[in-house]
Chain A
Amino acid sequence: GDSVTQMEGPVTLSEEAFLTINCTYTATGYPSLFWYVQYPGEGLQLLLKATKADDKGSNKGFEATYRKETTSFHLEKGSVQVSDSAVYFCALINTGGFKTIFGAGTRLFVKA
């Protein structure tokens, strides 16, 4: 079945460091890919998404490119801030659009 694998955390970075969180997927058809972020005490929020191969999703300085050839959707940010500390979830929605498959989540700590 469909699945999402993302790097285990926690990831600890200093402020202004470069961030990469790896995400790979297995899916039939042509899924849509998402990154969600969960700040402490809050619900998941959509961070960015891409719906077809080679699309780049971007938001708040974060970017991810849908790579069909490597089945990847890695999250990157050039300069992280303390306020980026959160848990990040990679996810896909299958072709039918009814069910979201989530990765295990990666916790990010950013130190001042």
Chain B
Amino acid sequence: GAVVSQHPSRVICKSGTSVKIECRSLDFQATTMFWYRQFPKKSLMLMATSNEGSKATYEQGVEKDKFLINHASLTLSTLTVTSAHPEDSSFYICSATPLGGGRRADTQYFGPGTRLTVL
């Protein structure tokens, strides 16, 4: 159990276009979903924390107008990279915390990640 999916797994887009990445908890309801970005040979960097029905909380240095996060339901959060540029190319990973865990992050289930390449 506790499966988190991401779609798409890979996406290639042209500079200036927008890309939407979906994160779904398949067999549980998620109070909180986290979005991370991973650079090659680097650790996962938390971008934002989203709670269902409320605005996402962005980490310092992350542009909220560029990385739009919508947590529309207890099983779905989306990350939209707007006006993508080559420097946005990266591996984006989401995770979800089950309902009842509050906002604590010590129980997280991770998606397999989405590889974004911006040409």
Contact = CB atoms under 8 A, between A and B. Distances in A.
A5 to B, nearest CB: 10
Interface stretch (A12-20, A38-46, A69-77, A78-86): A38-46
Contact of A103 (B4, B43, B49, B104): B43
A60 interface: no
B105 A97 contact: yes
A43 B43 contact: no
Interface stretch (B69-77, B82-90, B108-116): B108-116
Dominant secondary structure at the B interface: loop
A56 to B, nearest CB: 17
A22 to B, nearest CB: 15
B43 A98 contact: no
Interface in A67-112: 89, 93, 97-100, 102-105
B94 to A, nearest CB: 9
Contacts of B44: 44, 89, 100, 102
A58 interface: no
Contacts of B4: 43
B110 A44 contact: yes
Contacts of A45: 110
B110 A97 contact: no
Interface in A27-68: 32, 34, 36, 41-46, 49, 51
Contact of A43 (B42, B45, B113): B113
Contacts of B103: 97-98
B106 interface: yes
A100 B41 CA distance: 18
A98 B108 CA distance: 11
A21 interface: no
Interface in B62-101: 93, 95
Interface of A: 4, 32, 34, 36, 41-46, 49, 51, 89, 93, 97-100, 102-105
